[in-house]
Chain A
Amino acid sequence: MEQESSPVLLEHLFRRQAGRIVSSLAGLLGSKHLQLAEDAVQEAMLRAAQRWPFQGVPESPEGWLFRVAHNHAISALRRERSFGDKTDELIAALESNTQRVEDVDIEESLRDDELRMIFMCCHPELSQDVRVALSLKLVGGFGVGEIARIFLAEESTIAQRLVRAKRVVRERNLPLRMPDRAKVRERLDSVLDVIYLMFSGGYAAHSGEELIRRDVCLEALRLGRLVSDSSMAAPRVDALVALMALQAARLGARTDAAGDLVLLEEQDRSLWDDELIAQGFYYFERSIAGEEISVWHVQAAIAATYAKAESWETIDWRSILEHYDQLMEMTGSPVVALNRAVAVIKVHGAEAALAALAPVADHPAVHGYHLLPAVRGRVLAELGQFAEAEAAFSAALACDCTEPEKRFLRKQMELVRG
Chain B
Amino acid sequence: MPKYMLLLHDDRQAWGKLGPEEMQKAVGKYLAWRNKPFVVDGQRLDEQTGRLMQKKNGSVSITNGPFMESKEVLGGYYTIEAASFEDAVKLSNDHPHIDFGTIEIREVMVRPT
Residues of A within 8 A of B (CB): 1, 3, 6, 9, 12-15, 17-18, 41-42, 45-55, 57, 141-146
**A9-B21 in contact (CB<8A):** no
Q: How far is the CA of A17 from the CA of B21 in the complex (A)?
A: 10
CB < 8 Å A-B pair total: 85
CB distance from B33 to the nearest CB of A (A): 8
Residues of B within 8 A of A (CB): 10, 12, 15-24, 26-28, 30-31, 33-35, 39-44, 47, 75-76
**A49-B19 in contact (CB<8A):** no
Q: List the 6 shortest-distance A-B pairs measured between CB atoms, nearest first.
A: A143-B19, A53-B30, A14-B20, A54-B44, A14-B24, A18-B20
Q: In the assembled complex, which residues on chain B have CB atoms less than 8 Å from the CB atom of A141?
A: 19-21
Q: How far is the CA of A48 from the CA of B18 in the complex (A)?
A: 13
**A1-B27 in contact (CB<8A):** no
Instruction: List the A residue with the shortest CB-CB distance to B22.
Output: A143
Q: How far is the CA of A55 from the CA of B23 in the complex (A)?
A: 16
Known: A1-B39, A1-B41, A49-B15. A9 touches B34 (CB 8 A): no
Q: Which of B12, B15, B27 has the most CB of A within 10 A?
A: B27
Q: In the assembled complex, which residues on chain B have CB atoms less than 8 Å from the CB atom of A42?
A: 16
A50 contacts which of B20, B22, B24, B47 (Cβ < 8 Å)? Answer: B47
Known: A9-B28, A46-B15, A50-B47. A1 touches B23 (CB 8 A): no
**A15-B24 in contact (CB<8A):** yes
Q: In the assembled complex, which residues on chain A have CB atoms less than 8 Å from the CB atom of B22?
A: 143, 145
- Subset of 14 A-B contacts with CB under 8 Å: A1-B34, A1-B35, A1-B39, A1-B42, A45-B18, A48-B23, A48-B27, A49-B23, A50-B10, A54-B34, A54-B44, A55-B44, A141-B21, A144-B19
